[in-house]
Amino acid sequence: MDKNTRICIIGGGPAGLSAGMYLEKKGYENYTILERLDRVGGKCWSPHYNGRRYEMGAIMGVPSYYAVHDVEEFCGITHDGPQLNRNYKNAKGDVIEPFEPKKNILKIPRLLKMKSQLKKFGELLETKYKGYDVNGHRGVAEGRYEGFSQQNAKREPVSGTNPNLKDLCLPFKVFCEKNGVELVQDVWIGPYTSFGYGYFDEIPAAYVLKYLDFQTTMNFVKVNLWTWKNGTQYIWEQLNEHLKNPARLNSNIEKVERRDGKVYVTVNGKVEEYDKIIVTAPLHIPNKRADGQKGMDEYFDVREDEAKLFSRIDYERYDVLAVETKPEDHPEISYYVFDNMVPEKLGHLMVYYRRWKDTKDQVITTYSLRKHKDSKEVPYETCRKMVLDDLKTMHNPASNVVNEWSVYYFPHVFSEDYAAGWYDKVEAMQDKYDTFYAGEIMSFGDMDETAEYSRELVERFF
């Protein structure tokens, strides 16, 4: 492709900014990033409170976040934030140690069985499911893999045929049962469901395992985590500052028309002409949102094949509260509440975080899910009240709500559409209408996977 190609990138989150960085690295400098908000970072949002930053979105990373490390190197920054740790409580607010045999004598047989299954699972992923951890979803439904290896920072291109990969279309719960490793869900649920990515009986295993590949999960288990003093948003603020063409904030895209080999974008009342467009913003939002966020299919001259495929996308209703507590009620550490990470406890508090351990004049953040594909959505205000009541049960009552966010989160398709080749159909449309599809839906809804997909997209097509 001509290095002077005029490229429009929609979205100033990790995916969009990374696309700009990787394009720039390959010599493409005629790109424009349009961001509808007054800030960059997307779901990496780190507001200020009492002189420090807290997290409303992404919290942490791990050493296998290779794309994030690319950004760090590009900007000359590093992961310099507070060390995180966590403990566990049951639904009654009692501190528990679910993985400590000495504290769970009656559960020793289950814990030993879980340990055995965990070892077996690691071996299965490396052998039976070779290729499972390649970024993105191309070929999975067809029993093949194609992309860049995530085994190390080199991320070398790999491809191959493996019919067993079709099993990744199954819900993760079914996938684990099929392989006789159902107890590994006890390990995976903490960094998965509590982080808002849905429940194991509804989400295809491919999503779970491309985000939480064995290496990444073990880093979470061992608390081998990265954080940033100025928050995850700082990563992307720094990237934006280091790009030759920083994102244009407050860009209201009213219309996108694709005709005669050109792309016409009406933004803030003016028409701009481009040769190609990369969409990292949502492709489809199945309901009207209070924050005004829209899917691509609402402002593009969407084609029939786009509309048909994008209409199959759903997303998680994931809510975050930042609350103050009285000093005597401030939690001494972050807590997971496994009892509430099941569909039957929809809307309840799943995890709450204490980011700064050296002071009690900071907020704690709470996280809850309001939707399961087979149940009615819990109303926002109902969920909010449940979470505040749960904090009282946890013996850490909130004295005030400082911030709250109900965000469009983790777009995905369900097993039937995944198995029917949804991803291969969308991948086949890349550049069909001078349009490229990237962002969360094409990989996974965490900052590293989305950035890594942008890297792959640039490598493949530019």
Where residue 151 falls among pLDDT bands split at 50, 70, 90? confident
Three-state SS across the chain? CCCCCCEEEECCCHHHHHHHHHHHHCCCCCEEEECCCCCCCCCCCCCEECCEECCCCCCCECCCCHHHHHHHHHHCCCCCCCCCCEEEECCCCCEECCCCHHHCHHHHHHHHHHHHHHHHHHHHHHCCCCCCCCCCCCCHHHCEEEEECCCCCCCCEEEEECHHHHHHHCEHHHHHHHCCCHHHHHHHHHHHHHHCCCCCCCCEHHHHHHHCCHHHHHHHHCCCCECCCCCHHHHHHHHHHHCCCCCECCCCEEEEEEECCEEEEEECCEEEEECEEEECCCCCCCCCCCCCCCCHHHCECCCHHHHHHHCCCEEEEEEEEEEECCHHHCCCCEEECHHHCCHHHCCCCCEEEECCCCCCCCCEEEEEECCCCCCCCCCHHHHHHHHHHHHHHCCCCCCEEEEEEEEEEEEECCHHHHHCCHHHHHHCCCCCCCEEECCHHHCCCCHHHHHHHHHHHHHHHC
pLDDT in tens, 54-99: 999 999 999 999 999 999 999 999 999 999 999 999 999 999 998 8
pLDDT in tens, 347-379: 999 999 999 999 999 999 999 999 999 999 999
- What ranges do the domains of the chain cover? 7-78+229-313+413-461, 102-221, 315-410
Average pLDDT on 422-441 reads 98
pLDDT for position 263: 98
Where residue 419 falls among pLDDT bands split at 50, 70, 90? very high
Average pLDDT on 31-46 reads 98
Residue 173 pLDDT > 90: yes
pLDDT for position 290: 86
pLDDT for position 28: 98
Average pLDDT on 173-188 reads 97
Average pLDDT on 19-28 reads 98
Average pLDDT on 377-397 reads 98
Q: Domain 102-221 classified CATH 3.40.50.720?
A: no
Where residue 40 falls among pLDDT bands split at 50, 70, 90? very high
Residue 224 pLDDT > 90: yes
pTM of the model: 0.96
pLDDT for position 133: 94
Where residue 176 falls among pLDDT bands split at 50, 70, 90? very high
Q: What CATH number belongs to 7-78+229-313+413-461?
A: 3.50.50.60
pLDDT in tens, 285-329: 998 888 889 999 999 999 999 999 999 999 999 999 999 999 999
Residue percentage of the chain with pLDDT more than 70: 100
Where residue 235 falls among pLDDT bands split at 50, 70, 90? very high
Query: Distance between CA 418 and CA 246 in Å, rounded?
Result: 35
pLDDT for position 18: 98
Query: Looking at 148-157, 262-271, 317-326, which range is the least confident one?
Result: 148-157
pLDDT in tens, 87-140: 999 999 999 998 888 877 888 999 999 999 999 999 999 999 999 999 999 999
pLDDT for position 105: 84
Q: Domain 315-410 classified CATH 3.30.70.1990?
A: yes
